[in-house]
């Protein structure tokens, strides 16, 4: 959106409709930024490393070739924090539908999907799921800390808004980023999932900010649902773990001076 500059022609130089003064419009100041988690602030670990680490927890060492083959099959089956499953077995349909509303459904859905891949390793499905619950199973994006630190220094409030079936707070604490987050609106706690505007309204309420003065940052159409809540939205491109994802653009939008 382009700003309209102040403009008023003199009476001598104008007549009729041209006598009207065009009012100045300014950008709404951003008082808060709402961040999606997965794909925005952090990404799950590389698939082969995920499989090897889970196997090691079960006392099995996988070579690179076998780990890669298993990772490919598990990604097709559906990984927490990864691609959606190619197919959800009927027996898992209810758990899948509720996965972001209840912790037991989240675990049950993803361990159930992993069990459809016969790895021949006892306890493997649970070990794979455990990786998503710990800090080592995730990689914050390169700009995450710098962006959050800059927003805090500028007095801009920050919330994490995520469709998730487990608590993200321990991850941020382990990364020493918890002091930069003011609130968490997690679907399993709020009882609403993006793109439902209710979860964005809850986040803004936690921060004490009007939605029209909040910027939602994410990487999916579900995050863009914040528009229905009255927020401005920035959708970032998908990026692999450790690769830049354009997060720095948040500062250009949130900290730009009023026109």
pLDDT in tens, 157-204: 999 999 999 999 999 999 999 999 999 999 999 999 999 999 999 999
Percent of the chain residues past pLDDT 70, beyond the cut? 88
pTM of the model: 0.86
- Res 29: pLDDT: 85
Q: Are 144 and 247 in contact (CB under 8 A)?
A: yes
Strand partners, 38: 42
**pLDDT tens per residue across span 70-85:** 999 999 999 998 889 9
Q: Are 36 and 217 in contact (CB under 8 A)?
A: yes
Backbone torsions φ then ψ of 233, nearest 5 degrees: -130, 140
Per the prediction, the chain carries an average pLDDT of 90
- Res 238: pLDDT: 86
Q: Are 34 and 226 in contact (CB under 8 A)?
A: yes
**pLDDT tens per residue across span 17-63:** 333 333 333 456 899 999 999 999 999 999 999 999 999 999 999 99
């Amino acid at each position: 959106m382009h700003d309209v500059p102040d403009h008023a022609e003199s009476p001598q130089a104008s007549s009729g409709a041209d006598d009207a003064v065009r009012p100045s419009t300014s950008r709404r100041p951003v008082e808060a930024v709402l961040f999606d988690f997965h794909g925005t602030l952090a990404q799950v670990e590389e698939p082969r490393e995920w499989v090897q680490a889970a196997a090691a927890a079960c006392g099995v060492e996988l070579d690179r070739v076998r780990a890669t083959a298993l990772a490919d099959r598990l990604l097709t089956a559906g990984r927490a924090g990864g691609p959606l499953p190619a197919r959800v077995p009927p027996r898992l349909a209810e758990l899948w539908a509720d996965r972001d509303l209840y912790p037991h459904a989240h675990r049950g859905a993803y361990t159930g999907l992993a069990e459809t891949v016969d790895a021949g390793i006892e306890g493997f499905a649970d070990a794979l799921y455990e990786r998503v619950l710990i800090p080592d199973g995730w990689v914050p994006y390169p700009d995450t800390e710098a962006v959050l630190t800059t927003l805090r220094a500028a007095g801009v409030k920050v919330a994490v808004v995520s469709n998730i079936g487990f608590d993200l707070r321990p991850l941020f604490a382990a990364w020493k980023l918890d002091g930069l987050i003011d609130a968490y609106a997690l679907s399993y706690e709020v009882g609403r999932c993006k793109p439902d505007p209710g979860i964005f309204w809850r986040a803004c309420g936690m921060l004490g900010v009007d939605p029209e003065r909040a910027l939602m940052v994410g990487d999916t159409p579900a995050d863009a649902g914040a528009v229905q809540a009255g927020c401005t939205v920035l959708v970032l491109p998908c990026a692999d773990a450790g690769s830049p994802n354009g997060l720095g653009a948040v500062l250009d939008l949130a900290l730009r001076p009023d026109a």
